[in-house]
Chain A
Amino acid sequence: MEATERFVRGKGRYVGDIELPGTLHLAIIRSKYARARLLRVEGGISGRDLSAVIPDVGEGARGESWKIKQPVFATGQVNYLGQPVAAVYADNKYLAEDLMDSVDVSYEPMQPVLDEQEAMTAEPIHPGLNSNVATDQFIGKDFEEKDAEVVLDDAFKIGRIATDPIETRGILVNYDGSRLNVWVSTQAMFSIRNGLCATLGLPITSVRVMQADTGGAFGSKSAMYPEYAIAAFVSMKTRRPVKWLESRKEHLTASRPGRGVSGSMKLFAKRDGTVIGLKGEIIVNGGAYLDGLARFSPMFIGMQLTGPYAIRNGYIRAISVVTNTPPLGPYRGAGRPEAAFFRERMMDLLADELKLDPAEIRIKNATDQVFTNPFGMRIIGSRQFMTEAFDSLEYYKLAREPNGRRGVGISCFVLVPALMEGESCKLKVDNGRIKAWLGGNSHGQAHEVFVRKLIGSTLDVSTGVVDVQPGDTDMITSGVGVWGSRSAIVAGYATVLASQTLKEKVVKTKGLYTPEYLLAGNYEAEVLNEKFDDPSLNSFGANLVTVDVDELGEVTVEECRSYYDVGNALNREMVKGQIAGGMAQGISSVLYEGLIFSKDGTLLTDSIASAGVPPARELPHFVTGITEHPSSLPHGAKGVGEAPTIGVPPALVRAIEKATGVRIRNIPIHPEVLIGPKK
């Protein structure tokens, strides 16, 4: 049965749905404080029983983690609200929760450091460090400022956001006496396998990870987490299956959130609108323990600051800091939205300063040829795209309409997909059917659709003979994962390459390729492709948003439109569905969403509603325009998944600024800052 049919019938198999006899249920006792000395932990299992640290795996991993490592259980000191302190288990989840009261924990609360700017000057949160600054590097090259006729500076801040998939995290582990069999809700089964092995000191061969149906992820489900290690530990200890399902409240405190970045920018330009350089400083809130993603994030943001524009000079200080918040993870866009927000805010500021149209100033700074920015990022010509985009978005028409408390904003950006480490695909022909496995699998993107299509077209077979298999680390040698707008590109390419390999194998045995030969035989091919070096994979996008803002500062989004180059769209309807979903997240990241802590570190937004995931009545209808300029890969794919969370926020913020006359530097926006007569 197709996945979609299973889902509408209620026949999905998410982790919570998988039942094994004798399963124990795990409940985690978590820190009540953002920062405290841990004086006593009595009862349950804790750091005394399992003393291990979480390795750096998953999206943005850099191999080794930072010098302060995230423990499975906190000992000595707790460093974020919700950090695991102990665990209990019982035959069902109600009883497990009852048992939580039997664990006695005492704390001595300390003043937490919650914000990246505060962290720069606050006393170090980790004993033994002399500062909260974890990484501090310059990228680009310092440059002369004297040619500039206009110099503008400004500072911005983007709050932390929970990823909030409707299915929270969950894992089921069954130790069978020799191996750990793991079912998990994830974007990256190999990260979980490698993470479990590293944490528990197990050989790779002793862990099998199977991806259950995964109810959304948006970044938070690629990393290794303490709870996974605890579940595995308890299963090995008790020889029983162990299940842990995250509550929403746990998700909001202990899953990795995204964003949480401050940026100060200085833009140098000529009076004709040509931008000649950019300087600035990026500070990323890495949370209590920094993995590779957090440490690399400020540079990743800095590197993209020129976007689709030919800005020749750039010099950026890129800083990551530790704070008493959960470790930073990727959230849809992961650095890309931050870069676009900072840059597009500066482009609008320049347009206002020079009294030029925002579209005009953007086109003026576009490029006609391949351009390498001062940080090494390459793009292809962007001018034609922008010209088409503003037309297609009907910007000129909408900008001319009388506005009052209404406003229109546009944005342009480059989507830099995460291609590193490539992806794998294995195909096996047997009994007239083709089975396909990927190294990274769908959690809502329906990979099976493009896999079938690419196999069908490459091998000239009906898509009906292709069975896309669920993710299973035992069935494919290696793999990476699903994030960073990468799947259609890397997994798609791997599928094409594996199909071509099958073809060659048929030719080798039969002398020539026909689909009949293929399907009559037994063939197998597995590829992991790694090398991508093509600036055309960095794709362009533009957004337009119009709003109406009432006298109390309430923003109504009227139009939300995209114009994205999605390369060769492997399935147009699904691409548009991805865009609409991403646009909703783009809007809510500006108007509704945020994790807000009180000064003492209590989470004030502790429900999915208060954290701002919006219902249908708070969102507009979306216009999902796309254009298709194939990339140089054989299947022509480009990325799309993250485009809307990159492009919508700056366009929306500009529209609000035009409607109210209030310059906006921080998101999310509280209506309070927008009230009063138009300035």
Chain B
Amino acid sequence: MKISVNVNGRNVDADVEPRKLLVDFIRDDLHLTGTHVGCDTSSCGACTVLLDGVAVKSCTMFAVQANNRNITTIEGLSKGDELHRLQSAFIEEGGLQCGYCTPGMIMTSAWLLSNNAAPTEEEIRNGISGNLCRCTGYDSIIRSIQKASSDRRGGRK
């Protein structure tokens, strides 16, 4: 089936089998391998991308469902060499260890901050609960998001 999607600002026309999951379209067809897969039950959020600005699990959608819509993946978050403030905050606050959950976690955080510029710790804990991290115990991730949030309010990009 022919679809047309905008991925990270770029228009992509493609012919996909209806059964192809969005995550496989992103990874295997577009070679954007920053979006990961960690489960087969929609539980882990390693596959999180933004669909028209809203965080969703790309393993639980068919690529055809994204027809005529905008997708942002982790690769589309930074502007060239310049990291998004969430990406820098994750580095500065040690919000990652193995890094496997990280792209999904950052995409969810981006969506979270787009709705709530200054979330409380509890709002962050709830907000990132669709994303599992096995390494960090989440504290450092929460600090990273708080840092990005205050950087933004402080005017840092």
Seen from chain A, the residues whose Cβ lies within 8 Å of a Cβ on chain B are 2-12, 14, 16-17, 19, 92-94, 164-168, 213-216, 218, 245, 247-249, 443-446, 573-574, 577-578, 580-585, 607-609, 613-619, 621-622
Q: Quick check: A94 and B19 within 8 Å, CB to CB?
A: yes
Q: Name the contact of B90 in the complex, choosing from A8, A92, A446 (C-beta under 8 A).
A: A8
Q: How many A-B residue pairs have CB under 8 A?
A: 176
Interface string of B14-39 (1 = CB under 8 A from A): 00010110001001100111111111
Q: Quick check: B96 and A608 within 8 Å, CB to CB?
A: no
CA distance A164 to B133 in the complex (A): 10
Query: Is B97 an interface residue when CB atoms closer than 8 A count as contact?
Result: yes
Q: Name the contact of A615 in the complex, choosing from B28, B97, B129 (C-beta under 8 A).
A: B129
Segment from B50-58, B63-71, B137-145, B149-157 that makes contact with A: B137-145
B87's nearest neighbour on chain A, judged by CB, is A8
Contacts of B73 in A (CB 8 A): 10
Seen from chain B, the residues whose Cβ lies within 8 Å of a Cβ on chain A are 17, 19-20, 24, 27-28, 31-41, 43-44, 46, 73-75, 78, 83, 87, 90-91, 94, 96-103, 106, 121, 124-126, 128-142
CA distance A444 to B135 in the complex (A): 8
CA distance A448 to B113 in the complex (A): 32
Contacts of B98 in A (CB 8 A): 165-167, 213-216, 443-444
Contacts of B41 in A (CB 8 A): 248, 607-609
Q: Quick check: B43 and A4 within 8 Å, CB to CB?
A: no
Q: Quick check: A4 and B91 within 8 Å, CB to CB?
A: yes
Q: Quick check: A218 and B39 within 8 Å, CB to CB?
A: no
CA distance A166 to B39 in the complex (A): 8
CA distance A358 to B135 in the complex (A): 31
Nearest-CB distance from A662 to chain B (Å)? Answer: 27
Q: Quick check: A621 and B139 within 8 Å, CB to CB?
A: yes
Q: Quick check: B34 and A218 within 8 Å, CB to CB?
A: no
Q: Quick check: A164 and B134 within 8 Å, CB to CB?
A: yes
With A577-B140, A609-B43: A10-B130 Cβ-Cβ less than 8 Å: no
A621's nearest neighbour on chain B, judged by CB, is B139
B37's nearest neighbour on chain A, judged by CB, is A16
Contacts of B131 in A (CB 8 A): 615
Q: Quick check: A580 and B102 within 8 Å, CB to CB?
A: no
Q: Quick check: B101 and A582 within 8 Å, CB to CB?
A: no
Contacts of A582 in B (CB 8 A): 137
Q: Quick check: A613 and B96 within 8 Å, CB to CB?
A: no
With A216-B98, A444-B97: A166-B133 Cβ-Cβ less than 8 Å: yes
Contacts of B19 in A (CB 8 A): 94
Q: Quick check: A248 and B38 within 8 Å, CB to CB?
A: yes
With A10-B33, A10-B34: A583-B137 Cβ-Cβ less than 8 Å: yes
Contacts of A16 in B (CB 8 A): 27, 33, 36-37
Q: Quick check: A247 and B34 within 8 Å, CB to CB?
A: no
Sample of 18 A–B contacts (CB below 8 Å): A10-B32, A12-B99, A14-B100, A16-B33, A215-B99, A248-B40, A248-B43, A577-B136, A580-B136, A608-B41, A608-B43, A608-B132, A613-B132, A616-B124, A616-B125, A616-B126, A619-B137, A621-B139
